Amino acid sequence: MRILLINGPNLNLLGTREPHIYGSDTLADLEAMWRRHGTTFGIGIDTYQSNHEGAIIDEIQAAGPRHDGIVINAGAFTHYSYAIHDALRAIDVPVVEVHISDIHEREEWRKVSVISPIAERVIVGRGTQGYLDAINLLIARSLFPPSSLHYGPDPDQVIDLRIPDDPRALVNLIHGGFWRTKWARDTMDPIAAALAGAGYATANIEYRRGPASFDASNSDVAGAVEAASRHLVEQGHADLPAVAVGHSAGGYLAIRLAEEHPEMSVVALSPVINLEAISAARPDDDPVAAYLGNDIAAAPDLWDRAAPSGRNATRVTIVHGSMDSDVPADHSLAFHDSHPGSTLVTLVGADHMHLIDPHHAAFATLTAAIEGEPPLDS
């Protein structure tokens, strides 16, 4: 597999151009990192940068026969170059659009992308990590291509399904990201492909996120799980056991799901489970207040309703890394202590993202938890 990363105008100035927005890494630094990442996964990475529209079009046209995927940050061409749009559309190669900053939160003209309509996914606002996420997405899609199922009219009410010939269970995957729109289901694509390769049907769930999305996100997850199970039955896979696997904020949603559906087994990976503590730790950018649409002083009843009760925690397994700096492991320990029907697995040395890395030892712990086997501590 070979992937081409294309960068457009002014991205040759990375490292010196507005580092508070674009970071301090130079383009050469990033290109070396992308190649190392490709070597780790046994794929080839090619890179190209130009300030000239025609040169980028020529590179895209040449990429068709030589590459299995394109990651493109077209810079300012993103917002008006239908010529680049047409070039990408003309070749039979999956495309992921990437932007270092969140273009939807900047000037009005940056909010328009003429490339997005032909992109498999659009990744914005994750800094330079977005390029690696795009590479991982393309790898996952090559290993086990998904099909999409819409479970509602909103563009975010969609599931990516990967169904092996004789699935052993249905695993519903719920991504994290503090319920912010810049984090999406692509973060779960590598684990979805790996689980599908191991014989599990996977439903990688997208759901509505953003400010005041508490009710919408919970409703969406429940609707998506029902839609995925119904689809599997329609495809002739009746009576499959179903498991919900949520990471971070998705772990919170998975535990909430268990409260209403006690028959559902849940695996919560580093769940955002103590809303007040997370809020207090991030006063300048409070993800919980944004998610609920009010801070705790203004809406105490809403915060009480949003806090996971764990009243049906008898089929809940929590996996947390001891080195998690995003969601402290003691949050999960406190929940387990007050809900002894739950199971807690602590992975020594694992951080927040290791738990959704199929190449990390955490993957064996995840599959054991899905199967309901004894915990695999490390």
List active site positions: 22, 99
Burial 318-348 (b: 16+ CB within 10 A, else e): bbbbeebeebbbebbeebbeebeebbbbbbe
- Indicate the Cα dihedral angle 292, 294, 297, 298, nearest 10°: -130
**Which one, of 184, 191, 187, lies nearest residue 157 by Cα?**
184
Partnered with residue 2 across adjacent β-strands are: 44
**Which one, of 270, 268, 273, lies nearest residue 369 by Cα?**
268
- Indicate the Cα dihedral angle 342, 343, 349, 351, nearest 10°: -40
Characterize the bridge pairing of strands 158-162 and 201-205: antiparallel
